[in-house]
Amino acid sequence: MDGSTLQSKRKISRFDDIALSAAFRHTDGKLLVAGCADSSVKVFDLASRNILRTFSGHSAAVHCVGFESADLQRVFSGSDDQTVRRWDMVTQTCVSVLRGHSDHVRTVLSNPFASESMLTASYDHTVCVWDTRLADAPTSGSGGSGGSDVGVTDKKSRACVMSMTHGAPIEDMVLLSGGGVVITAGENTLKVWDLLSGGKLLHTLSPHQKAITSLCTDQAMTRVITGSLDSTIKIFDLKNYDETFSMRYSAPVLSVQLSPDSNVLAVGMADGTLSLKQNSRVHAGPAYTAPLSTPRTGTKRYFQRGANTKATEGEDFAVSVDHKAKLKPYDIFLKKFQYHQALDAALHTKRPEIVMSVMEELLQRGGLRTALANRNEATLTPMLDFCVRCTIHIHYQSADAATLNSVTDGLTVVLCCDGDMK
C-alpha cells in the first residue's frame, strides 16, 4: 500500500489457505514473512513475489510472525499449537521451539533493545520473556529439516526467564522505547509492566466496553493506539495515560496500525473493511494557518465579514441535506413493541453484535420471555445455533455471559412448557 496515494502497490496471493499474519523485514523491506491458517510459514521476495522459503512444523494456525532483531536471517512464528518456533532461512531448519504456554499464542515480539530477548503473549493470560541464548543451546541428536523436532531445544525452565499474568486472554502487546516497559491488552483492559523491575505492574486502565484486539504506537513511542470490538479506536498519551482522541467505526475493530511517519492510520474491521485515514498536515505544502476568530457582534469586523472573500471560479457545490436516518427492521419492531419479530430480524442479520444488542434491549424491557415464547422447532433452531456460537467465541464469553444465561433460561422455560403441553 502506497502511503502517499493510499493505493495498492503489490498483491501476493500465493497461499493455500487464509493468510493470518505478515511482517516486513524492518531493515530493508525487501522480504515479507507470512503465517497461514494451514500452519505453514512462508517467506516472500517482494520484488518478484516469489516464495523463497516455506517452513512446516506447527500443528495449528500461525497467528504471529516476524524477523528477529539480532539475526535478520531468522524468523519466528507463534501458533495456536501453544508453541513459538524460530527458523533459520539459510539452513531452512527450525532452530528452537519455545514451549511454556497452555493456550493459543497470539503475539510474539523480538526485543530490538536486547537482541537475545523475545516476548510472547497467549490466551492463557500470561506474558513470557525468553532468553534465546538458552533456547539455542546445543542438544543431542541431529538437526531436523523443515520443522522436525529432532534435535530441537525444549528448555522452558531455563529459556523462560520471566512471566507475568494479565488476568485475561491477551490479544496484543507493544514494547516501548528502551525495551524496559511492555503494554498488554486482554479483554477491555490495558496493563503496563516494568520488565527491568522483574515484571512489576505500573498501571492499569479499562478504556473500552468490549475486548481490545490490537495495539500500536507512534514512531516516537509517546502515544499508544487501541482498537476494540466496541467499534472504536482510542489514543492515549503515555506520559500520564490520558485519553487524547477517540473515533468510532462502522464495525468491530480487529487490527490497527500507524505508518512509520505517523501519516496514515490503517484500521481493519470485522466486516472485511480496511479503513485508511491520512493526516494531510504531514504532507509538504503551504503552512497551516489558523482561522481568524469569529468577530464580536456589533463590531466593524462583524459588518465587514466576507467583503474581501472571492468566489472560486468553475467550482460549484451542493448544499447537503441531512435526511432522517432510516431505522433497521429490528429497530422498527422494537419501537412497535413487537418483540418476537424484532428478535427474528436481528437473527436474520447473522451479526453477533446486533443480536446481542437486541437481546440486551429485550432483557432491559422485560420482553425477552415474550420474544422466545410460542416458537416451533424451525424458529428455535437459529436461536440455539447463535447461543452455541457465542458460547465458544472468546470475544463474547465474558462480556455477554449474563445475557446468554438469561436467553438459555428463557429457552429452557419455553421448551419445558411446550413439553408439558404435549
User: Is position 201 within any domain?
Assistant: no
Domain count of the fold of the chain: 3
Residues 11 and 131 in one domain: yes
In a domain, residue 307? The reply is: no
- Residues 398-402 have a mean pLDDT of 56
Residues 266, 251 within the same domain: yes
CB-based contact 210:399 (threshold 8 Å): yes
Mean pLDDT for the chain?
A: 81
The predicted-structure confidence for 199-222, as pLDDT tens digits, reads as follows 999 999 999 999 999 999 988 888
Could you tell me if 413 and 369 are in contact, meaning their C-beta atoms sit under 8 angstroms apart? yes
Q: Within this chain, do residues 218 and 354 fall inside the same structural domain, yes or no?
A: no
224 domain-assigned: yes
344: CB partners within 8 A, 6+ apart:
379
Backbone angles phi, psi at 169, to 5 degrees: -60, 125
Which three-class secondary structure state does DSSP give residue 256? strand
295 inside domain:
no
pLDDT, tens digit (0-9, with 9 covering 90-100), for 71-101: 888 999 999 999 999 999 999 999 888 988 9
CA-angle at 13, arms to 8 and 15, nearest 5°? 145
pLDDT tens readout for residues 259-306: 888 888 999 999 888 888 887 543 333 433 445 567 778 887 778 777
Q: Are residues 2 and 132 in the same domain?
A: yes
CATH of the domain at 107: 2.130.10.10
CATH no. for residue 254? 2.40.10
206 assigned to some structural domain? no
Choose between 383 and 420: higher pLDDT.
Answer: 383
On whether both 246 and 266 belong to a single domain, the answer is: yes
Specify the pLDDT at position 171: 94
Taking 50 as the threshold, does the pLDDT of residue 407 lie above it? yes
Residue whose entry in the numeric block shows the C-alpha cell 505478515: 22
Q: In terms of domains, do 134 and 176 share one?
A: no
Given this model, what pLDDT does residue 422 score?
47
88 shares its domain with 179: no
- 152 and 75 part of one domain: yes
At residue 21 the predicted structure's pLDDT band, cuts being 50, 70 and 90, is very high
> Does residue 69 sit in the same domain as residue 7?
yes
Q: Same structural domain for residues 48 and 119?
A: yes
Instruction: Name the residue range of residue 131's domain.
Output: 1-138+145-165
Region 174-187: mean pLDDT is 90
* pLDDT for residue 37: 92
Q: Is residue 305 a part of any domain in this protein?
A: no
Query: Are both 380 and 271 inside the same structural domain?
Result: no
| Same domain assignment for residues 64 and 158 | yes
Is the pLDDT higher at 398 or at 234? 234
CA angle centred on 185, ends 163 and 209, rounded to 5°: 145
- 302 in a structural domain: no
CA distances from 25 to 67, 68, 407 (A): 6, 9, 49
C-alpha cell at 137: 543451546
